[in-house]
Structure 1
């Protein structure tokens, strides 16, 4: 059996350090420099794109970006703020297209409060869905035309089926699901969500992207794989069972832990 090839989330200045490792197996790559709100507000992102393209010259792996997310909820009830969110999504796609990327990570709008309270308000979920379509609809259409996949990452999500239903509501191949293992484990440990592998199985063939990080179930740790409490054998069995081909991205707080995480996974026959 061929083990899945695993890549990483990096900033543009880190690409040179990890270039040989990325090129070795054309690993999946996610560039996270472009989520910086200050950079987005200034609009001065082209030099970073140029440097990334220089570092990635000849690279044959899948790569993309983490899109804008700080303070940007797709489900904001204020129409003027939703317009700002839509503009930031357009800006993220500007960057992704300029880079030649194939995916952009975006954040789920569902909060812990939503899980416990939306159903108490008549039409609450329908309103949230309408607001998300208004904020994200133009970006989904543009992504379709540009050959970019938007992947919706779980953040505070307790019920993975709600996010899946939201993705289905768009009816677009350009919008898929992302599972962040650390976020799912935080939700499992602190807010009563299902275990990480359930999030993966729920995504099924909509799984387009996975952030791999370890955690303790209390906070969003971004620890090296094997340092926390996630049951990794079952997570990788669940990924295989989806039949999908998701981007597999180590998203570690300390990039120096990439070799240690890879050694842990390789020793256990989970990835390469």
Structure 2
């Protein structure tokens, strides 16, 4: 059985309809989207949507970890709207980036926002994930899982990004084992092991053995969701990087 491979539409400098058409033509099986995707006509939404980045396109000054209560509430309202849109579109998973800093006030504010949104998503029948992100308030998988555990909410999960693992020096296989049934979703990309470049697979420091091991860890986990290719729209040719990444997944994925 082959892995289900999705594509993050924000990896192209095109409008969502054009990006969706590319993903379909390239052979991706589903897409990850930003808020507002429901504005596309049904005829242009040609692939299933498996995840929404509900905190993308946040209004200026709005942060889930803001010290200002009004700024935080604007952010919560934005994400709540995204969750409701995801529900209308039948999207099973949505996710958040972590807080900007590990400072205690930021973590506390983010926790309050996240718990509110986890309740909202649960009522909508949608899982809410948190992405680990080097340089931010939850820089590692280990710290993100600890935060999720401390929140004590059964609708909080981990979105794992293998490129972020690479920067943090965390084993993908060990991270997946540690996440267990909290693993919500998986993004795949490459980088220089220092910056979050979102290169295509094998375009940075990865080699085939590293990618193969990461894909095997996904397949062997109690996880049946997609691996989603996330490239940077600023690359010289993000379409080529995306298509190449899909081909690499197909070539290196374990056969089970």
TM-score by length of 2: 0.79
Matched residue SS, 1:109? coil
Pick from 144, 164, 169: which aligns with 1:183? 164
Pick from 30, 33, 37: which aligns with 2:32? 30
Matched residue SS, 2:40? helix
TM-score by length of 1: 0.74
Kindly provide the CA deviation profile for residues 60-97 of structure 1, in whole angstroms up to 9, marking residues without a partner as x: x4523111245654333333332222122212213323
Of 8-17 and 176-185, deviating more is 8-17
**Shift of the alpha carbon at 1:30?**
0.4
Any residues of structure 2 matched to 1:62-211 within 5 Å, and which? 63-69=50-56, 73-109=63-99, 111=101, 114=102, 124=104, 130-156=108-134, 157-188=138-169, 194-211=170-187
Distance of 2:25 and 2:154 partners within structure 1: 32
Checking the alignment, whether the CA contact within 8 Å between 2:84 and 2:124 is kept in structure 1 is no
**Shift of the alpha carbon at 1:220?**
1.0
Of 81-90 and 139-148, deviating more is 81-90
Matched residue SS, 1:209? strand
| Residue matched to 2:39 | 50
| Residue matched to 1:4 | 3
Residues 1:232 and 2:211 are matched in the alignment:
yes
Kindly provide the CA deviation profile for residues 192-239 of structure 1, in whole angstroms up to 9, marking residues without a partner as x: xx2444333332221111111011102111111112223212212322
**Shift of the alpha carbon at 1:51?**
1.4
Q: Which runs of 5+ in 1 are unaligned?
A: 35-44, 119-123, 189-193
**Shift of the alpha carbon at 1:9?**
0.8
Matched residue SS, 1:151? strand
Higher helix share: 1
Q: Which runs of 5+ in 2 are unaligned?
A: 11-15, 233-237
**Shift of the alpha carbon at 1:182?**
1.6
Checking the alignment, whether the CA contact within 8 Å between 1:151 and 1:177 is kept in structure 2 is yes
Residues 1:264 and 2:254 are matched in the alignment:
no
| Residue matched to 2:24 | 19
Checking the alignment, whether the CA contact within 8 Å between 1:206 and 1:244 is kept in structure 2 is no
Aligned-pair RMSD on alpha carbons?
2.8
**Shift of the alpha carbon at 1:173?**
4.0
| Residue matched to 2:224 | 245
Distance of 1:53 and 1:174 partners within structure 2: 30
